[in-house]
Every structure is written in structure tokens, then in C-alpha cells.
Amino acid sequence: MEMPKEKGKPKGVDIFWLLADTSREERKKRRQGLLASLGIKEFFSEGKITINKRTCQGVECKLCIKACPTNALFWRKGEVGIAEELCVYCGACVLMCMVDDCIKVTRKRSDGQVEAYSKAKDVTQLQHNIGSKKRHKRTQEIFAKNDYLKRYKPLPK
């Protein structure tokens, strides 16, 4: 792959970009294989999870490790470790964490919408919003099919 000429630099192949792109594809394939073996469907095209080691009370609780459905969080040398290949960015760890802003999850939906949260309140609000959109859409479908609004005429005054 050739790079275009930029401000006096000669054209050439960016080997570092090619290596990074190849390793990204390999990681994506490995991730798909791991999740498929666990029987887990992936809902998010991209994501990132971080843990603030300064505020984490992992020694005392380990609640996030217990809550993780894919075992992406694990105990390692006195701290919580993350296996990015296994994380599906579900938010269970943030929901169970007893410290706000300790675990931060950023995820991108297939439609391009980016969601970020780091508090249990944010996770529940996000889930409620997703559920309410589905309920609203379903209600509109029911009313459109059955013509409820046309059946019931207003009472005469």
C-alpha cells in the first residue's frame, strides 16, 4: 500500500501501519473465536474498558470480577486485570462496582452511536432508554396495525 506524497516526503510503503493493521485483524479473529466458543453474541463493533487503579477497592470486594459474564476481569498480582479479547462491554462490572468512576466503559454500536459510562446510574439509565425506545416503537406498531385511534371516536359534547 503506497502512501501519498506529503510536503516533500517521498512516496513509500508505511510498513508500521501495515503491521498494526494485520495485528488488529488477527486480534479481531481471535476475539470472534473466543466469544463463539463461549456462545456469546457481540453487540458492539468497538469498545474499550479501563480501571482506575487508584480508586479500585478490588482487594476488598472483587464484585466486578464476579459479575463479568465472560471472565474478562480477573485477579492479577494484587489488582484487577482485563482480558480485552473477552470483554463484550456489557456494563455488568460498572453496575456492580461500589466506587463511581472506577471502571470506565466506552462502546460503539453498529449504527455508529458511541456510549460511555462509569457509574451504575449511567448503566441503568442507558438500559432504561434502550428499553423505552423498543417499547415506544412496539406501541406505535400496534396502534398502526389495529387502528385503535380510528375505532374510538370522541364523545359528543
pLDDT per position as a tens digit, 110-139 = 888 899 999 989 888 888 877 787 787 887
Closest CA to 108 of 26, 50, 48, 51: 48
Position 15 scores a pLDDT of 58
CATH of the domain at 92: 3.30.70.20
> Does residue 50 fall inside a structural domain?
yes
> Does residue 154 fall inside a structural domain?
no
Number of domains in the chain: 2
Position 2 scores a pLDDT of 46
Are 42 and 86 in contact, with CB atoms under 8 Å apart?
Answer: no
> Does residue 28 fall inside a structural domain?
yes
> Which residue type does 40 have?
I
Q: Are residues 20 and 64 in the same domain?
A: no
Q: Are residues 22 and 50 in the same domain?
A: no
Q: Are residues 33 and 88 in the same domain?
A: no
Q: Are residues 50 and 31 in the same domain?
A: no
54 burial level (CB within 10 Å; 0-12, 13-18, 19+): exposed
The boundaries of the domain holding residue 52 are 44-149
Cell of 90: 456489557
pLDDT for 17 beyond 90: no
> Does residue 155 fall inside a structural domain?
no
Q: Are residues 80 and 106 in the same domain?
A: yes
Convert the pLDDT of each residue in 57-113 to its tens digit: 877 888 999 999 888 899 888 889 998 888 889 889 999 998 899 999 999 988 888
> Does residue 156 fall inside a structural domain?
no
